[in-house]
Amino acid sequence: MYAQLVETGVKRIKSLDEMSPQERAFQEKIDAEIKIEAKNWMPDAYRQTLIRQISQHAHSEIVGMLPEGNWVTRAPTLKRKLQLMAKIQDEAGHGLYLYSAMETLGADRDEEIAKLHSGKAKYSSIFNYPTLNWADMGAVGWLVDGAAIVNQVVLQRTSYGPYARAMVRICKEESFHQRQGYEILLTMMRHGTQAQKDMVQDAINRLWWPALMMFGPSDDNSPNSAQSMAWKIKRQSNDELRQRFVDQTIPQLELLGCTAPDPDLKWNAERGHYDFGAIQWQEFFDVLKGNGPCNQERLATRRNAIENGAWVREAAVAYARKQQNKNAA
């Protein structure tokens, strides 16, 4: 659950010689692995890139509640219901951490949320896929949170201090969710009926490629990555992280006794990595542009929540003001 395509607005990376003294001092600090904090000087493009990335990350947590919320009323046992409710609650909490981290950069959460609702700001493409059977709750935990963790573990070393610290807290909870998700699938595969095993394979078939897309475009088609890497906002390339995810996930897939929907997937002893098939990039860009299976529903749900809740928030503000006046009098 993170940001996968963030504009930096930078066409070409400046060399140290081309930088102003301020810019140069900033870059040297980055190169020396000193964290940037809210009150430090930073290039405007660094600030704006981070606002875009962290808000996208926060939006992903919030929109990401919806595919799971779809099954929380239908969870099949009390234990599974409790797990799912705890997970959704954690996600709302992650959204709040991230909006706070973003606000240290001078952005306003309501303004950024308005950009999400108008379609200007993005969220992770994965949450535009529907959850169609109970096994999706396991597969989302295992594959989607798994992919998020691979990305977020690296972001614990990101150059902006408040973001890095948010990642440390979030990763602890996400790892727990991922294990729970895997356990849902393992239970169905080891103790379930044939119908349940079919559900698991169906969930994997539908979510496998979308999970791989969570790492963003391939490195040769990722024009914003170089600047993000130079600023150490990103620490590893999209393709490196995607490869790591595939390498660590295949043994787990085998333990389940399931397969990936990829005929080209095979171990490459020479590289020491799994080779895998080509991602459907057209689908990825379509989904990011708003033409995925659930984009309209997801945004409509979030817009309605905020619009229908306006009178509640106004009431809270009005009541707080009345109490303040009463106390002052």
Judged by the rule CB under 8 A, the positions of this chain that interact with other proteins are: 62, 65-66, 68-69, 72-82, 85-86, 88-89, 92-93, 95-96, 99, 134, 184, 187-188, 191-193, 195-196, 301-302, 304-306, 308-320, 322
Structure tokens at 303: 């817009």
Task: Name 275's bridge partners.
Answer: 266
Task: Name 16's bridge partners.
Answer: none
Contact 292, 129 (CB under 8 A): yes
Q: How far is the CB of 36 from other proteins (least distance, A)?
A: 26
Q: How far is the CB of 62 from other proteins (least distance, A)?
A: 6
Q: How far is the CB of 308 from other proteins (least distance, A)?
A: 7
d(CA 242, CA 225): 15
Of 134, 131, 8, 164, which is closest to residue 64 (Cα–Cα)?
A: 131
Q: How far is the CB of 318 from other proteins (least distance, A)?
A: 4
Contact 86, 271 (CB under 8 A): no
Q: How far is the CB of 305 from other proteins (least distance, A)?
A: 5
Contact 52, 121 (CB under 8 A): yes
When the beta carbons of 23 and 198 are compared against other proteins, the nearer one is 198
Residue type (1 letter), 119: G
d(CA 148, CA 127): 12
DSSP conformational letter for 219: G
Q: How far is the CB of 246 from other proteins (least distance, A)?
A: 28
Q: How far is the CB of 132 from other proteins (least distance, A)?
A: 13
d(CA 1, CA 123): 8
When the beta carbons of 35 and 303 are compared against other proteins, the nearer one is 303
Q: How many residues does the chain have?
A: 329
When the beta carbons of 74 and 266 are compared against other proteins, the nearer one is 74
d(CA 222, CA 284): 13
When the beta carbons of 125 and 227 are compared against other proteins, the nearer one is 125
When the beta carbons of 69 and 277 are compared against other proteins, the nearer one is 69
When the beta carbons of 220 and 311 are compared against other proteins, the nearer one is 311
When the beta carbons of 15 and 194 are compared against other proteins, the nearer one is 194
d(CA 270, CA 168): 35
Of 287, 253, 260, 257, which is closest to residue 276 (Cα–Cα)?
A: 260
